């Protein structure tokens, strides 16, 4: 076959080399735009797994590459004057130039024609070929010529960054976070050749503009970064190589092949630099393409096989890269975290590395995380961020244990309530068959079996505040003396369970179903109106929940007062029952939530309109409940992070409401999503609410409780240790 490869980067050279090696009869030409020896960029990094695949693909270049490698296993995080270290990561770096020289040498040895300094702007410039491999980077001419077929999309990151080098030896992958009068800058730095390191400097657009870097030329940019990092460089000089400030372009391509043309590496896909996988993915593409060409007799099957093998792998990396990119773009919200939690959050940002992974890689780091939680978390929880910590908890004899239990076993203090661990269990409310709000004996046994699993907190709910506020006829209530007696008996029983000498705590969630009321037992489906005996519904606005649902009546002034008083009365009953924590439901489209969302609140009075107005009634109810509830006991609010519907309540709205709730005396937010309307649904999966909880907790500076199908101790420890939530609702299949 006559093969033309566009682009003499790692992808182009490596694919040429491997294809020729498998079948020396191929006639291969590599065309590179730049002159030989001209290269941009500094070092590139590979993980040990990538190296193993290089070893299998071409031992000779593998050996030459590894001879030139700088290998290290640590990640250092410089933050707020402290350096946190975590080992066991095994990363290798090599100068990009060295890598290219090795691959060029191998290509020449194999008899591949290398043409440098030849710019191809039009595919018509090329002679005939049987296969065209487009390894010509993000601006690929080949891809652009067949845009309609390849269907590329490019999305630019919000941050600005510049690739610099430095004559500085580093012994770890180094993250530096520095704040100055212009804003926040972060550096991703790693060694690559024994005497020099890559220094990639990144900042958000505001900091970039404040620093005047939009107008700075190469020399001025270099000087700015030099002075910014003076303390960390310790006399070493930053270097520039035609370096410019850019926004990271993430390229996704729907099709990677067209007739006898195939895309490779950056021509097909890019992934944010913070997970260091661009060159790795490009070279793995080359291995897969060469393998497919060797295995399949016809070109079409070979290119199909290549695309099928690589696309899913690349998509997984792009997903992790976008998580990581989002982390760096929104880093400011984590600046309140202490160095240990900040570092843990950073290391687990992409979702690929967990608490157990870090403990396995570096047990000392893992134990330091545990110790930190045992000492701090209990105190810090009252306000999330340091600086406003109430030290009332600390006594004269502060312990510094040598080993501490995992983060999920640290206690949590909310007002005067000590929750012995971070695990929350909630009974299956749908199995409840209460009669006019009075739960049955089966429900009692359900609670007891949960208590035996030693959670820190048991959450009962949703519990209706009135008969007409029930979701379905089997729903529990707290609005008469019989209910009061039943719950009092339950709470007494549950309080007799203990975890490490601490009583298990019991919470009640008070709810009014609003427009989602009067529905069947959920065995029969969700939000299906009763076959008979429906009761009238009320809501913020007269909008039916599903096309089959009853249209609720818009709440009038008297309704607003009555429901508020009903909530307050239920709160007083809950207080007298002896519940430890009260949660007010304003999520999932129930009554209070129907005020918050613009999709369900179309009122023209003071309770409708902009967010400030829409949250007025839920806050009035919150105030009434807070006033009825003991001042030394905490109150939670269940709040939607988003409606998951266009035009609905968003995470930005949720942060505003969470801040307002905090001001009104709310101690913790239980994070939910979706169900505001019957058609808006989150992207379900393990931990699907965690990212929302992270944002609310760290932007509104309030503790959070999160569920969203957390089933393992690893998932819980990771969430707690990273400060993404303070309590986790467990959905283990073993329950």
Binding site for other proteins (CB under 8 A): 301, 304-305, 307-308, 428-431, 522-528, 531, 546, 548, 674-675, 678-679, 681-686, 688, 707-709, 731, 733
User: Where do we find the tokens 């009068």?
Assistant: 181
Q: Which is nearer to other proteins, 40 or 684 (CB)?
A: 684
| Of 479, 590, 607, 692, catalytic | 590
Q: Which is nearer to other proteins, 428 or 559 (CB)?
A: 428
Are 644 and 678 a contacting pair, CB within 8 Å?
no
What element of type H or E holds 156? Answer: strand 152-156
Q: Which alpha helices (DSSP H) does 408-506 contain, by range?
A: 441-451, 481-495
Are 129 and 47 a contacting pair, CB within 8 Å?
no
Among 13, 3, 6, which residue's Cα sits nearest to residue 105? 13
How far apart are CB 523 and other proteins at their closest, in Å?
Answer: 5
Q: Which is nearer to other proteins, 456 or 474 (CB)?
A: 474
Are 461 and 511 a contacting pair, CB within 8 Å?
yes
Q: Which is nearer to other proteins, 444 or 645 (CB)?
A: 645
Beta bridge partners of 425: 458
Q: From residue 536, how far is each of 85, 469, 516, 532, 554 by CA, in Å?
A: 61, 10, 11, 12, 11
The per-residue b/e assignment along 288-313, b for 16 or more CB within 10 angstroms, e otherwise, is: bbbbbbeeeeebeebbebbbebbbee
CB atoms within 10 A of CB 333: 16
**Beta strand 27-31 with 553-554: parallel, antiparallel or unpaired?**
unpaired
Among 345, 405, 340, which residue's Cα sits nearest to residue 370? 405
Ranges assigned E (strand) in 426-560: 457-464, 498-499, 502-503, 505-511, 538-539, 553-554
Q: Which is nearer to other proteins, 93 or 708 (CB)?
A: 708
CA 7, CA 623: separation in Å to the nearest integer? 65
Among 693, 565, 604, which residue's Cα sits nearest to residue 641? 693
The per-residue b/e assignment along 642-656, b for 16 or more CB within 10 angstroms, e otherwise, is: bbbbeebbbbebbbb
Q: Which is nearer to other proteins, 22 or 431 (CB)?
A: 431
DSSP 3-state of 323? helix
Q: Which is nearer to other proteins, 139 or 301 (CB)?
A: 301
What element of type H or E holds 284? Answer: helix 278-295
How far apart are CB 685 and other proteins at their closest, in Å?
Answer: 5
CA 732, CA 729: separation in Å to the nearest integer? 9
Q: Which is nearer to other proteins, 598 or 682 (CB)?
A: 682
Q: From residue 693, how far is each of 344, 382, 411, 524, 673 by CA, in Å?
A: 16, 17, 19, 31, 10
Among 733, 636, 651, which residue's Cα sits nearest to residue 689? 651
Quote the tokens at residue 271.
């992934």
Q: Which is nearer to other proteins, 112 or 131 (CB)?
A: 131
Q: From residue 105, how far is each of 13, 21, 43, 64, 633 by CA, in Å?
A: 10, 14, 19, 10, 72
Q: Which is nearer to other proteins, 445 or 576 (CB)?
A: 445
Are 70 and 92 a contacting pair, CB within 8 Å?
yes
In the Cβ-directed half-sphere of 530, how many Cα atoms lie within 13 Å?
14
| Ordered strands of the 70-72 beta sheet | 43-47, 91-95, 70-72
| 590 given a catalytic annotation | yes
Q: Catalytic positions, please?
A: 590
């Amino acid at each position: 076959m006559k093969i033309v490869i566009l682009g003499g980067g790692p992808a182009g050279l490596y694919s040429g080399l491997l294809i020729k090696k498998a079948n020396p009869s191929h006639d291969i030409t590599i065309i590179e735009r730049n002159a030989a020896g001209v290269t941009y960029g500094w070092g590139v990094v590979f993980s040990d797994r990538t190296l193993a695949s290089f070893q299998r693909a071409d031992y000779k270049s593998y050996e030459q590459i590894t001879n030139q490698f700088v290998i290290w296993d640590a990640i250092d995080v410089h933050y707020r004057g402290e350096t946190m270290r975590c080992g066991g990561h095994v990363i290798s770096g090599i100068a990009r130039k060295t890598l290219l020289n090795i691959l060029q040498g191998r290509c020449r040895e194999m008899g591949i024609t290398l043409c440098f300094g030849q710019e191809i702007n039009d595919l018509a410039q090329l002679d005939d070929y049987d296969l065209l491999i487009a390894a010509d980077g993000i601006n690929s001419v080949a891809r652009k010529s067949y845009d309609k077929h390849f269907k590329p999309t490019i999305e630019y990151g919000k941050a600005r960054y510049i690739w610099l080098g430095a004559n500085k030896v580093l012994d770890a992958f180094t993250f530096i976070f520095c704040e100055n009068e212009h804003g926040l800058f972060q550096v991703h730095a790693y060694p690559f050749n024994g005497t020099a390191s890559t220094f990639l400097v990144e900042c958000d657009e505001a900091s970039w503009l404040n620093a005047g870097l939009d107008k700075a030329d190469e020399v001025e940019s270099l000087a700015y970064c030099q002075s910014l990092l003076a303390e960390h460089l310790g006399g070493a000089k930053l270097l520039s190589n035609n370096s410019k400030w850019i926004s990271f372009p993430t390229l996704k391509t729907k099709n990677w092949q067209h007739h006898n043309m195939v895309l490779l590496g950056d021509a097909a896909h890019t992934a944010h630099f913070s997970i260091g996988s661009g060159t790795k993915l490009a070279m793995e593409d080359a291995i897969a393409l060469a393998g497919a060409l060797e295995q399949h007799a016809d070109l079409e099957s070979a290119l199909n096989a290549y695309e099928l093998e690589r696309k899913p792998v690349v998509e997984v990396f792009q997903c992790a890269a976008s998580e990581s990119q989002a982390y760096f773009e929104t880093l400011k919200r984590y600046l309140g975290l202490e160095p240990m939690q900040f570092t843990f959050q950073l290391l687990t940002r992409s979702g690929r590395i967990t608490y157990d992974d870090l403990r396995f890689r570096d047990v000392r780091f893992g134990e330091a995380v545990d110790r930190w939680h045992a000492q701090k978390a209990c105190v810090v929880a009252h306000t999330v961020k340091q600086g406003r910590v109430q030290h009332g908890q600390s006594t004269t004899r502060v312990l510094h244990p040598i080993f501490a239990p995992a983060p999920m076993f640290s206690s949590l203090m909310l007002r005067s309530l000590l929750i012995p661990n971070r695990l929350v269990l909630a009974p299956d409310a749908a199995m409840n068959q209460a009669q006019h709000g009075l739960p049955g004996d089966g429900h009692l046994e359900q609670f007891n079996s949960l208590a035996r699993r030693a959670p820190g907190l048991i959450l009962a709910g949703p519990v209706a505040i009135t008969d007409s506020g029930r979701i379905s006829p089997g729903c529990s209530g707290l609005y008469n003396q019989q209910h009061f007696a039943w719950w009092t008996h339950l709470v007494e029983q549950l309080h007799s369970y203990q975890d490490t000498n601490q009583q298990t705590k019991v919470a009640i969630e008070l709810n009014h179903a609003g427009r989602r009321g009067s529905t069947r037992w959920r065995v029969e489906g969700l939000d299906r109106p009763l076959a008979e005996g429906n009761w009238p519904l009320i809501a913020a606005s007269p909008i039916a929940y599903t096309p089959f649902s009853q249209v609720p009546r818009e709440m009038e002034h008297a309704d607003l007062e009555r429901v508020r008083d009903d909530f307050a009365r239920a709160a007083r009953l809950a207080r007298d029952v002896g519940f430890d924590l009260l949660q007010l439901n304003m999520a999932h489209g129930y009554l209070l939530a129907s005020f918050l969302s613009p999709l369900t609140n179309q009122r023209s009075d003071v309770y409708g309109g902009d967010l400030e107005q829409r949250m007025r009634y839920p806050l009035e109810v919150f105030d009434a409940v807070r006033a009825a509830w003991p001042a030394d006991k905490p109150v939670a609010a269940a709040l939607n992070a988003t409606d998951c519907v266009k035009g609905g309540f968003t995470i930005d709205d949720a942060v505003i409401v969470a801040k307002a709730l905090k001001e009104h005396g709310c101690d913790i937010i239980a994070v939910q999503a979706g169900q505001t309307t019957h058609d808006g649904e989150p992207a379900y999966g393990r931990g699907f609410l965690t990212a929302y909880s992270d944002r609310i907790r760290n932007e509104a500076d309030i503790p959070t409780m999160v569920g969203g199908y957390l089933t393992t101790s690893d998932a819980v420890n990771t969430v707690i240790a990273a400060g993404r939530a303070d309590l986790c609702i467990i959905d283990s299949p073993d329950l």
